[in-house]
Each structure stands twice: as C-alpha cells, then as structure tokens.
C-alpha cells in the first residue's frame, strides 16, 4: 500500500496485515542508500500489530523507501517489497498530485483508442482493459510505462462482438496511487452488405418482414431504396410494396419518410432486387435497450446483429402485459406462427394490452430454435371448449386460426385465438 499524509518531516507508512502476526518490523532508508544503511531510528524498528506507522524526524523534500517484516513466536518473515515515500517542502508542496486518466474521443475508430494522463509521480504505468459489450468480464492487456501524457492502444478485431467493445484505462504512479478512466465504447461498423433473405415474385409467399439492425448514414427511405425506385421509376404498388404496421393499420411507402433502426417493415417486389447497406451497430452498453410498444399490436423491432430469445425478453420484463407469443410470418403457409427467436434483420408482431416498453438486454442471445403453438380445443359439441375451425382463403393466403366455438379463455377483445394477416399486393 502507498504511504499517506506526507509533511515536511514525516509520512505514514502503510502495509497489508498478515494473519498470525504478533507485530511488525519496519526499515526506513534514503532512496539513494537502498537500505544500506537504514535511518538510525528505523533500522528494524519494532511496532505493534498494526497496519500503519508514522515515520517522523525526516528531512523536507526528500525521497525515502520503507519495507516491513511480520514476526511472531516462530520468528520473522522475509522483507516486503519496498515502497517509495516522499516528504513535502516547508510549505507543504513538492509532491505531484495523484494521477488521473481520461478517454480521448476516438470518433468510433475501429483501429485504436486513446487515453490522456495528468499528474502522478513517475514512473507511471497504464493498463488497457476491455470486454465485448455482451460479455461480463474484462481482459487486461500488459501494463505499459508511459513516455508521454497520451497513450494509444491498438484494437484487435477479436476484442469486438456483434455490437462492439467496452473499455477503460487504469494508471498507477510511482507512489502506488491508482486511478481509472470512465468507460468508453467502440461500436462495430459494418461494410456494405445486402439485406438478407429478400424474396421476389410479387406474391403473398414473397412477402418478408425486414428490420435494419444498424445506424445508417442516411435513414431517408429514398436513399435506402434508391435501386428499386430506379428500377420501377418510383413507388408502384403493382410492382413492389413497403409497409409498416402502426397505429392499427398498414402504413404504405407514401406515409413513411424513413427507415428507423430495428423496426419491422413489410417488403415485396416482383423482380429480384439487391438493397445494400452499411452502418454502425446500435449504440448500447450493458444497459437494456428500450423497445417502445405504442399500439396494441406492434410490428416488433430487432436492433441487434444476433438473434434474441423471446422467452428471455419476457423473463427480463416480468411486469410487461404482453401476449405469450411472438408471431412471425410464415411465407410457406401464408399465415403467422409463434416463434421463440427474434431473428436479426427480420421482424414480427407482439400484442400488448396497453402502450408500454420492453427492455432488451444486450446480453441476451438466442438459445432456442423456436416453439410450436398449442391451443386446447375439442370438436365435440358437448365439451366446454368446443371449436369448429374455419379456413379462410383469399388470394392464396390461408388463415387457419379462424373459427367459431366456445373456449373458457375466449373474450370479446383480443385473445390468443386472434392473429395478424399479411398485406395484399
């Protein structure tokens, strides 16, 4: 431990106590003498079983070193590591202030991060500590002795996960005084890439719910969909469609001005198209990302580059008044099905009984492959939960959730027997 309370003629030597010790022996020397010899009054000075001792009778503005040994009836221990101590000048000054370290804004550089160090007594060492944002433990790089007030640490790509890296710096000066910087973040940037899983054909089976899990340079809808606007000479509902379900209805391209990060949008095109995007991962640390549900049935958003387990989201929001199922579009059967996974780059639907916010911890990754729907029903009319299914077919869309009957859990308002339908083309 570092010394404390320096004056012109004294300081307090501190050390860690040792189990089983009856007391300690302390040596004090001029730094230049290196314990050969020790100061006359502090050559194997015996003190009681304490963790500090005031060393006095010293010279102003002078550098000393001290070390201790524990003793009991069995004898003395070996020497501790020696520690530097400095007396002040006659006015109480002369000792540099404790070190401090701050992060220098690196403008989200993916190659290096920087720190700025002030004060401290040389030599000053600095340690770069980092972790992937979705992980728990930090990795410490090897300490480095500073040669200037600014330090730069290189970023290895393995330091980042799908979101990025959290980091900070720790400095220790020659008087064993330490300081830590605040936390900094490097959010992963992604080169130009195509929106995956887009289909074409202009049919109900070629609809997809897309979600862009990155911060774009431009979120303007005209910039993002410039290739398809050029292909079809603008927005043409007979050629392609872009919609978002909000406020209880599908809002078409004409009612949209931007693509918001992570929100879900219906997309369909008659001809194959390639929409390429580049951007930055969502700015998130280990705090949850809020997902505001403003309407009763919301086209859910997925702001992360990895899949999320829906059950984990519900567990993280125990008070949320939402349905058990997260519904995704099934293009093969042209209807909706429950899914246990909120897929990256895609979306689905959540039903909430009131406007509320779901928090999505960034540490949640998909651990399941989905689940199947389970609705208790009977076709026997003498049973309390009798149900006669009706299959609705419209323009090739098949909805098998409909029917009439009597179930103990059925209510006039939205219940688990209601579902969503795909838009037309």
Tell me the pLDDT tens digit for each residue of 318-329.
988 888 888 899
Q: How far is CA 412 from the centre of its chain?
A: 41
Domain extent at residue 105: 100-187
* Residues 199 and 319 grouped into a single domain: yes
Give this prediction's pTM.
0.66
Distance CA 191, CA 44 (A): 66
Give the chain's domain count: 3
CATH number of the domain within which 157 lies: 2.60.40.10
Domain boundary among the residues 153, 172, 187 is at: 187
Q: Which residues pair with 190 in a beta bridge?
A: 279
Tell me the pLDDT tens digit for each residue of 328-371.
999 998 888 898 888 888 888 888 877 778 887 776 665 444 33
Distance CA 314, CA 316 (A): 5
Residues 314, 315, 317, 322: is their CA dihedral positive or negative?
positive
Question: Is the omega angle on the peptide bond into residue 353 within 30 degrees of 0, that is, cis?
Answer: no
Element (H, E) at 167: strand 164-172
Question: How does the average pLDDT of the chain come out, rounded?
Answer: 84
Q: Does residue 395 lie in a domain region? A: no
Mean pLDDT of 262-268: 90
* Residues 220 and 247 grouped into a single domain: yes
Contact between residue 349 and residue 420 where contact means Cβ atoms under 8 Å apart: yes
Domain boundary among the residues 43, 59, 86 is at: 86
Contact between residue 239 and residue 228 where contact means Cβ atoms under 8 Å apart: no
* Between 41 and 354, the higher pLDDT residue: 41
* Residues 196 and 314 grouped into a single domain: yes
Whole-number pLDDT of residue 6: 93
* Between 375 and 69, the higher pLDDT residue: 69
Mean pLDDT of 238-242: 92
Q: Does residue 173 lie in a domain region? A: yes
Contact between residue 219 and residue 183 where contact means Cβ atoms under 8 Å apart: no
Distance CA 62, CA 230 (A): 78
Whole-number pLDDT of residue 293: 57
* Between 321 and 383, the higher pLDDT residue: 321
Tell me the pLDDT tens digit for each residue of 44-79.
999 999 999 999 999 999 999 999 999 999 999 999
Contact between residue 180 and residue 167 where contact means Cβ atoms under 8 Å apart: no
Distance CA 160, CA 148 (A): 27
Q: Does residue 175 lie in a domain region? A: yes
Q: Which residues pair with 393 in a beta bridge?
A: 398
Q: Does residue 48 lie in a domain region? A: yes
């Amino acid at each position: 431990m570092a010394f404390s309370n320096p004056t012109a003629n004294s300081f307090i030597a501190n050390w860690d106590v040792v189990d089983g010790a009856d007391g300690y022996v302390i040596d004090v020397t001029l730094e230049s003498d290196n314990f050969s010899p020790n100061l006359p009054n502090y050559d194997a000075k015996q003190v009681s079983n304490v963790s500090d001792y005031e060393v006095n009778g010293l010279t102003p503005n002078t550098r000393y070193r001290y070390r201790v040994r524990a003793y009991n009836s069995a004898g003395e221990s070996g020497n501790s590591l020696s520690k530097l101590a400095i007396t002040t000048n006659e006015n109480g000054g002369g000792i540099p202030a404790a070190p401090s370290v701050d992060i220098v804004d690196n403008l989200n550089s993916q190659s290096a991060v920087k720190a700025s160090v002030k004060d401290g007594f040389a030599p000053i060492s600095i340690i770069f500590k980092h972790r992937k944002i979705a992980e728990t433990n930090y990795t410490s790089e090897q300490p480095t002795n500073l040669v200037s007030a600014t330090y730069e640490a290189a970023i290895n790509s393995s330091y980042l996960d799908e979101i990025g890296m959290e980091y900070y710096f720790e400095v220790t000066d020659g008087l064993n005084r330490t300081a830590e910087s605040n936390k900094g973040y490097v959010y992963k940037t992604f080169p130009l890439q195509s929106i995956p899983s887009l289909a074409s054909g202009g049919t109900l089976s070629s609809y997809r719910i897309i979600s862009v899990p990155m911060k774009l340079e431009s979120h303007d809808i005209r910039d993002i969909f410039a290739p398809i606007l050029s292909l079809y000479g603008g927005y043409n509902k007979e050629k392609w469609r872009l919609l978002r379900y909000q406020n209880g209805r599908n809002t078409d391209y004409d009612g949209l001005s931007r693509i918001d990060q992570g929100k879900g949008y219906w997309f369909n095109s008659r001809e194959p198209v390639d929409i390429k995007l580049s951007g930055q991962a969502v700015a998130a640390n280990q705090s949850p990302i809020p997902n505001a549900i403003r309407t009763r049935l919301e086209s859910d958003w997925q702001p992360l580059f990895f899949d999320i387990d829906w059950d984990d989201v519900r567990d993280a929001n125990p008070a949320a008044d939402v349905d058990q199922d997260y519904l995704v579009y099934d293009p093969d059967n042209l209807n909706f099905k429950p899914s246990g996974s909120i897929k990256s780059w895609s979306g689905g639907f959540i039903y909430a009984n009131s406007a509320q916010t779901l928090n999505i911890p960034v540490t949640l990754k998909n651990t399941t492959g989905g689940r199947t729907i389970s609705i208790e029903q009977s076709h026997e009319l003498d049973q309390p939960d009798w149900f006669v299914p009706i299959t609705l077919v419209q323009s090739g869309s098949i909805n098998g959730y409909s029917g009439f009957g009597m179930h103990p859990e059925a209510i006039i308002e939205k219940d688990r027997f209601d579902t969503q339908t795909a838009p037309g083309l």
